[in-house]
Amino acid sequence: MSVTNTGWVKIAGLGPGNETMVTAQVQDVVAEATDVVGYIPYVKRIPERPGLTLHATDNRVEIERATHALEMAAAGKRVVVVSSGDPGVFAMASAVFEALEAGDPAWLDLDIQVLPGITAMLAASARIGAPMGHDFAAINLSDNLKPWSLIEKRLRLAGEAGFAMGFYNPRSKSRPHQFGRALEILREACGGETLISFARDVSKPGETITTVTLNEATEEMADMRTVVIVGNADTRRVGRHVYTPRFAKEG
């Protein structure tokens, strides 16, 4: 398949939900696009206009969605692939490059750019204070694309190493008890007095922020609309805020 020089793919992050957190760069490329591709709730955030075709698809079809975007760009379309948060954090950027690697070699000549966005994890951290003020790890607790045994290993090692941690997809209806197991591992690795924060619907109406110790935390405090942030041994409260100091002692 030949590539039309006018086509491009921009992989864009729409931020955590509040429209004021969508970058001007992303707004500009959406205004230039002929086509927008993405998961149904994210495409719904894009206003309809003449000359723009919206392609909304269900979850778990990321490679098909990415392939469609590349095919349209090769035919001369200006395509924006939308994700929530940042497209490079557990989102569509990797899927596009997976499809690119497996697809038509001519697609390698396409103009493909990743446009950053504000992640739910960083938006939640800002609401809480600065719990990720020192070294941290971001972990997706879903076992759809990796085994649960690997998740347990990463939780334990990150906790023992003293990382603050941000968790995506902590607890779904299909795996309600895994987050309870995650809390057990964290208590063992980090200590029961370590602070844990639950940010639900961050930046959206109805946002709630709750901070407790790991000993006080229960699995029901999290769902798929919650970002969970665990501090390290130095994380502390100051007034209504939680922060992790910029310094650390040798472990």
Reading the chain (251 residues) residue by residue, the pLDDT tens digits are 667 678 999 999 999 999 999 999 999 999 999 999 999 999 999 999 999 999 999 888 999 999 999 999 999 999 999 999 999 999 999 999 999 999 999 999 999 999 999 999 999 999 999 999 999 999 999 999 999 999 999 999 999 999 999 999 999 887 878 999 999 999 999 999 999 999 999 999 999 999 999 999 999 999 999 999 999 999 999 999 999 999 987 76
Task: Read off the pTM.
Answer: 0.92
In this structure, CATH architecture of domain 121-243: 2-Layer Sandwich (3.30)
Residue in this structure with the two tokens 């209806």, named with its chain if needed:
173
Domain 8-118 belongs to what topology?
Answer: Cobalt-precorrin-4 Transmethylase; domain 1 (3.40.1010)
SS (H, E, C) 27-59: HHHHHHCCEEEEEHHHHCCCCCCCCCEEEEECC
**Domain-by-domain residue ranges, the chain?**
8-118, 121-243
The answer to whether 55 touches 43, Cβ cutoff 8 Å, is yes
Q: Strand pairing partners for 37?
A: 55, 81
∠198-204-206 over CA atoms, to 5°? 70
